[in-house]
Amino acid sequence: MLKCISLILALSLILVSGEETDAQAGKIHWIGYLDSSTRAVNDPLLKALQKGLSDLGWVEGTNINFVYRFAEGKGPAYEAELAGELVRLKVDLIVASGGSARRAKDATNTIPIVMTNDPIAVESGIIQSLARPGGNVTGLTSLAAELSSKRLELLREVVPKLARVGVLMPAQRPTWDQRSGLALKDLETAARSLRLRLHELRVKVGPTEIDLEGAFRIAARDRVGAVIVMPWARFGDEQKRIAELAIVHRLPTISGHGTAEAGGLVSYGANTADQYRRSAIYVDKIFKGAKPADLPVEQSTKFEFVINLKTAKALNLTIPQSVLFRADRVIK
């Protein structure tokens, strides 16, 4: 009799367990996406994240759904509001683009946060270390500040007689953004060692207009020899417009990954789309039970150096062979 009761209890537990598994399998996980920019939901970087999730079995509308929040460059206060909205909506996880992880972390210490490419995760204190992030934040980090000096060195090689470099940035330097301060400080140090003079080209960013043309007119007037576009100053992601104005004013440019494809002369940086794709791995692990504190943060170690020879020709600029040989890719 006791054996029969035990068998019935065992079968009941198996059935209950099976029901729970089926319920979990049918659950839809809600992902909050926080971005400081004006990025649209069909942006290539978001597509890369979605593709990464899809490859791991997470399909939007089937077992995951997104809640998008874009701060549109309105600053930290507005971004903090959006982070708070995601927390109140009780999303299961927040994917934070770029430096948005700071605002997400300030809003919650319980909801898991996955960084796509935060450049100062350790410096800003949102994680304890790369190996042991602690808390509720993990993901990927980049070397935005350190790469600024490398871009300046490459620009000097591309334009050997370069003496004066324009630094394209918003008219109101975002002092609230720690990554911009670190990048500019690193750039100034590199400029002194290379005996280059930096000239800040402040772009007026309004609600409906970005005065890039005004900044380039000033660059031409002040005889700037080339321009470095700070990667954090995306100006509504108008890289193509920047490239067009650079050609009009005969100014070589360098910036982060992907800008050479948009028509810029040189780009150097980590593959941002790949970082977004790899962020999906962290989302997958967390949804399968891993804790963010136990997932080491991945730091970019591979950087792409791309030269656009079409743009070089339009600028009537000859790229030294020694530089071309080192490029990972040359656009002809």
pTM: 0.78
Q: How confident is the model at residue 3 (pLDDT cuts 50, 70, 90)?
A: very low
Of 132, 155, 148, 216, nearest to 183 (Cα)?
148
CA–CA gap between residue 303 and residue 274 (Å, rounded): 11
Q: How confident is the model at residue 180 (pLDDT cuts 50, 70, 90)?
A: low
Residue 264 is classified by DSSP as -
Architecture of domain 27-142+272-300: 3-Layer(aba) Sandwich (3.40)
Range scoring the smallest mean pLDDT among 79-83, 218-222, 234-238, 257-261? 234-238
Predicted local confidence at residue 189, as pLDDT = 87
Domain map (residue ranges) of the chain: 27-142+272-300, 144-270+304-331
> Identical fold at 27-142+272-300 and 144-270+304-331?
yes
Q: How confident is the model at residue 236 (pLDDT cuts 50, 70, 90)?
A: low
Q: How confident is the model at residue 181 (pLDDT cuts 50, 70, 90)?
A: low
CB 101 within 8 A of CB 126: yes
Predicted local confidence at residue 176, as pLDDT = 41
> Phi and psi at residue 271, in whole multiples of 5°?
-75, 100
Range scoring the smallest mean pLDDT among 47-56, 201-210, 306-315? 201-210
Predicted local confidence at residue 235, as pLDDT = 63
Architecture of domain 144-270+304-331: 3-Layer(aba) Sandwich (3.40)
CA–CA gap between residue 137 and residue 95 (Å, rounded): 10
> What percent of the chain has a predicted confidence (pLDDT) above 90?
55
Q: How confident is the model at residue 152 (pLDDT cuts 50, 70, 90)?
A: very high
CB count in 10 Å sphere of residue 84: 16
Predicted local confidence at residue 239, as pLDDT = 83
Measured CA distances, 10 to 18, 19, 20, 138 (Å) = 12, 14, 15, 40
CB 46 within 8 A of CB 276: yes
